[in-house]
Structure 1
């Protein structure tokens, strides 16, 4: 068996791991690179093998960094099945359509504004190309063995993180190879705790927060403080949010605060069409989350849901203090950019960062104290207060990741630390070796392993 790390190593984006066994080729995730320009440029590069030679794609979940390259894969010849859970299929459809639409819009604006370095800016893929992915989906249920080939089986188990997210165990060549996907938290606001693997000859474990412990800070108390302080100054609170699951978690906490009369009666706005679409998925997938129907209904009534961009413009120019949740979570695109163009230069604004910010993203730049940020070819001075609530991350921290390995019945032959920048991955490597004595390696982009 040969495994090649095509993406998602040395970085938290572009997840793609190729498994080759007895003439069968399986791609675990097919993510888009984000953040640094050097990474984004990889999205335009061909895979090291022809997509037409890949037999299956197995998706751990529907975030862009795990599914966002599928339209390119299909457009370049992939004609196999894409296995995933039902929520992941629905989320991936939302993500891909939204991503394609944003890319088409940004290419159009770049051409009209003439701020692209290319003579003609083109989207990475179009809406039409995204739609060609959908017939390839094959829905599976968690904990059921799926025969990919006469001698290859896959089992998906709940990983927490977001709706439908799973870890994947491949059984082949008398070995169990486990791919963690993104591991959620044991005490997440909405998601259930991740299921820990029992077997794993080889384990590919994410390391996003491999060097960090989430603080014990109560996220509700932090939100309460930031909102009240901002509203007293007559300002606006902007929460750049991943439309999938994080937006709903923030909505839930804000609803609780409002019910407890701890935050004022002002407009609370959800401005992300995909985030609004996700609410329907929450309603239709009750077994995947902790939220009760009565709470869900009351929570949704509290928010003004904005889909039409004309309404976005109206909200932006309304000077009334408000709280806005808008995608994207790393401030790499989406409607949050329109809000920041207007509000990031105002000292009374508060920007609340609630999720992981990849290297090179605007979210990371603001957290690191950037004096200005570039949006659509123009620079905007950052006068807004930028704060972070780490306890709202959908990713498990170092303790959660180490704990996820605790039920393995036998010592794995090797643990590969992926989906993390080099420093967090190396810190996690040391901790795992100290606690369990497991042999850990940190792959490099394009590295091959024969197992």
Structure 2
């Protein structure tokens, strides 16, 4: 059996792990690379194997860095089945359509305003190519074994993180391989705790926060303080947010603060059409989260929901203090850029960062103290306050990741650390070896192992 790391190795984006066994090829996740330019350029490169030789794709969840390269895979010849949970299928459809739309719009804008280095800017894929992915989906139920082949089966178990997210247990060649996907937190506001694996010969574990312990923060108090301070100064709060999970968590927390009269009576705006669509996924998949149907309805009532871009423009030029939740979470695209074009240079503005920011993204640059930021080919001076709330992360920290391994008996032969930058992954490697005495490796992009 061969394992090859085609993405998500040495980086938190572009997750793709290839398994070859007895003539069958399985791809775990098919994510888009984000962040620094050398990574983004990999999205345009062909896979080192022909997509039409891949039999199955198994999706851990619907975030762009795990599913966003599927249209390229299908466009280049993949015709196999894509297995995932029902919420993941719904989320992936929304993510891919949104991604295609953004890429089409950005290519069009680059051509119109001539800020592309290419003679003609092209989208990585378009809406029609994204839609060709959908007929290949096959929905699986959590905790049920699915036969992929006569001697290969898969089981999906809840991983927390976002709605529908799962770890995948693969049985083949008398071995058990466990792919963690992205692991959530035991005390998540909306989601149930991740299920720990009980057996595994080989584990492929994410390491996003492999060198970090999340602070014990009172998230509601921080939101209350930041909002009230900004409003007192006549400013606007902008929260760049992932449209899936983070936007809904923020809505829930702001609704609670509003009910408790801890934040002022100003406009609270959700400006992510995809985030609004995800609310429907929440309503249709109540067994995946803690919210009741009535809570879903009630928390939406305090928000203005912008679907059309004309509504975004009206909100941008509304001078009164307000709180905006807009995608994308790492400020790599989406409507949050339109808000920042107008507000990032105003000292009364507060930008609250609430999730992981990959290397090279605008969000990471702002956290690192950038004095200017480039948006659509133009530089803007950063005068806004840039604040961070780490307690809203949907990723488990070092303790959570170590704890997730705690029930595997007997201990695995090897743990591969993926989906992490080199420093966090290496620190987690040392911790795992110290605590469990398990052989642990941090694979490089393109590296291949025989099991």
The TM tier, using the shorter chain, reads: over 0.9
Q: How far 1:420 moved relative to its partner?
A: 0.1
1:287 aligns with 2:295: no
Cross-structure match for 2:397: 397
Deviation at 1:295, TM superposition (A): 1.6
User: Could you say which residue in structure 2 is the equivalent of 1:447?
Assistant: 447
User: Tell me, what secondary structure is at the counterpart of 1:403?
Assistant: helix
Say whether 1:277 aligns with 2:302.
no
Which residue matches 2:213? 213
Kindly report which structure 2 residues correspond to 1:41-80, keeping only aligned pairs within 5 A, or say none.
41-80=41-80
What SS is found at the alignment partner of 2:203? strand
Aligned match of 1:184: 184
Q: How far apart, CA to CA, are the structure 2 residues paired with 1:40 and 1:436?
A: 36
Counterpart in 2 of 1:429?
Answer: 429
The CA distance in 1 between the partners of 2:447 and 2:128, in whole Å, is: 33
User: Hey, what does 1:222 align to over in structure 2?
Assistant: 222
Distance in 2, matches of 1:146 and 1:271, equals 38
Q: Please tell me whether residue 17 in structure 1 is matched to residue 37 in structure 2.
A: no
Task: Within 5 Å, give how 1:143-154 maps onto structure 2.
Answer: 143-154=143-154
**1:88 & 1:151 partners in 2: Cα distance?**
26
The separation in 1 between residues aligned to 2:13 and 2:4, in whole angstroms, is: 16
Gapped regions of structure 1 (runs ≥ 5): none
Aligned match of 1:3 = 3
Aligned ranges 1:193-272 → 2 under 5 Å: 193-272=193-272
**Whole-Å separation in 2 of the counterparts to 1:173 and 1:199:** 15
Task: Give the whole-Å Cα distance in 2 for the aligned partners of 1:410 and 1:302.
Answer: 51
Query: 2:411 — aligned with what?
Result: 411
Instruction: Determine helix, strand or coil for the equivalent of 1:269.
Output: strand
- Distance between the aligned counterparts of 2:14 and 2:48, measured in 1? 14
Q: Report the 3-state secondary structure (helix = DSSP H, G, I; strand = E; otherwise coil) of the residue aligned with 2:301.
A: helix
Give 2:125's aligned residue: 125
Q: Distance in 2 between matches of 1:391 and 1:294?
A: 26
What SS does structure 1 have at the residue aligned with 2:17? Answer: strand
d(CA) in 2 for partners of 1:206, 1:81: 24
Inter-partner Cα distance in structure 2 for 1:108 and 1:153: 44
Instruction: Indicate the residue corresponding to 1:306 in structure 2.
Output: 306
User: What is the alpha-carbon distance in structure 2 between the residues aligned to residue 442 and residue 59 of structure 1?
Assistant: 22
Per-residue deviation at 1:196?
Answer: 0.2
Aligned match of 1:107: 107
Write the distance in 2 (CA, Å) between the matches of 1:431 and 1:290.
Answer: 32
How far the C-alpha of 1:411 sits from its partner, in A, is 1.0
Distance 2:275 2:418 in 1: 28
1:87 aligned partner: 87
SS of 1:65's partner is: helix
CA distance in 2, matches of 1:36, 1:192: 33
* 1:347-426 → structure 2 map (5 Å cutoff): 347-426=347-426
User: How far apart are residue 293 of structure 1 and its match?
Assistant: 1.8
Instruction: Give 3-state SS (helix, strand or coil) of 2:164's partner.
Output: coil
Q: What secondary structure sits across from 1:192 in the alignment? A: coil
Deviant stretches of 4+, over 3 Å:
none
Q: Which runs of 5+ in 2 are unaligned?
A: none
How far, CA to CA, are the matches of 1:75 and 1:33 in structure 2?
Answer: 17
Secondary structure of 2:449's aligned partner: strand
Partners of 1:140 and 1:411 in 2: CA distance: 28
Q: What CA RMSD, in Å, does the superposition of the two structures yield over aligned residues?
A: 0.4
Q: TM-score, normalised by structure 1?
A: 1.00
Q: Measure, in 2, the Cα distance between the counterparts of 1:161 and 1:410.
A: 26
Secondary structure of 2:351's aligned partner: strand
CA deviation vs aligned residue, 1:41-68 (integer Å, no higher than 9, x gap)? 0000000000000000000000000000
For residue 409 of structure 1, report the CA deviation from its aligned partner: 1.1
For 1:354 and 1:450, the matched residues in 2 are separated by 39
- Secondary structure of 2:138's aligned partner: strand
How far is 1:294 from its partner?
1.9
| TM-aligned CA deviation for residue 421 of structure 1 | 0.1
**Matched pairs, number:** 451
Give the Å deviation of 1:434.
Answer: 1.0
Distance (Å, rounded) in 2 between the aligned partners of 1:364 and 1:30:
24
CA distance in 2, matches of 1:303, 1:362: 26
In 1, the alpha carbon distance for the partners of 2:123 and 2:289 equals: 35
Partner Cα separation in structure 2 for residue 123 and residue 326 of structure 1: 22
